[in-house]
Structure 1
Amino acid sequence: MATGVALVLLILLIVFILQNSTKVDVQFLGMSGTIPLGMALFIAAVAGGVVVAIAGVARVTQLRMSARRIRHSTSSP
């Protein structure tokens, strides 16, 4: 079931990228170029997801370290 849903979402994404093929100027950190609008939006979405994932991993790691400190302080006499 999950594979089927992922496949439908992938097809919709491909259609979105193909329908938004107008070239746009993109500038980032002193670099510039042209890229299709759909691809630019896709890259921006993926980059946003990576930033959120990194923040989530950092928070989970912080919580685990805090829980480990609490566990060690309560188990010691």
Structure 2
Amino acid sequence: MTHARGGAADRPTGPTNHDLPGTDVPEGALEPAELRAGDVRPGAEEVTPVRPAPSRPTPSRPASAKIKRTRISGTWVAVIAGLVVLVLLLIFILQNLDSVTVHFFGGEGSLPLAIAMLFSAIGGAALVALIGGARILQLRKQARRR
């Protein structure tokens, strides 16, 4: 009587992959389905190998080119950087709420330290923007003459 596993009746009677030339399979390994007894497949000389089609670069995306950055992606980076700066500025203002007395052109006032520093920074940025704008206008005027 044979057991459900490993009995002589369960083993294939045809050639195994141990009998085929060029196939070294360790003892006790399972055989692939195409090498089992009774499996009829075309021989190597009857089969034409199928090769994948060569990939062609499409007009929208060449194979070797990277995706270019756009103005919109640059804008998103600038928006995110601006938000980070604003959050840091808000934290700075909230941590420096001590009141100070500010004197300007004979005027005097009291306001939080961080707000006074913020007004100073805005004034400096406005001055730089005015000078830069004047230089840009000067360069455009020279370019039109040429």
Which has a greater percent of strand? 1
Alpha-carbon deviations, 1:24-70, whole Å to 9, x = none?
1111122110111100111100110000000000011111112222x
Does structure 1 residue 42 correspond to structure 2 residue 118? yes
Deviant stretches of 4+, over 6 Å: none
1:1-77 alignment, distance < 5 Å: 1-2=76-77, 3-69=79-145, 71=146
In the TM superposition, what is the alpha-carbon distance from 1:6 to its structure 2 partner? 2.1
SS for the counterpart of 2:97 is coil
- Separation in 2, partners of 1:57, 1:5: 23
Bigger relative CO (Cα 8 Å, ≥ 6 apart)? 1
Q: Who wins on radius of gyration, i.e. which is larger?
A: 2
- Separation in 2, partners of 1:28, 1:63: 35
- TM-score, normalization by structure 1: 0.81
What is the aligned-residue RMSD (CA, Å)? 1.3
Which has a greater percent of helix? 1
In the TM superposition, what is the alpha-carbon distance from 1:4 to its structure 2 partner? 2.8
Among all aligned residue pairs of Structure 1 and Structure 2, give the percentage whose two residues are the same amino acid: 46
The aligned counterpart of 1:75 is none
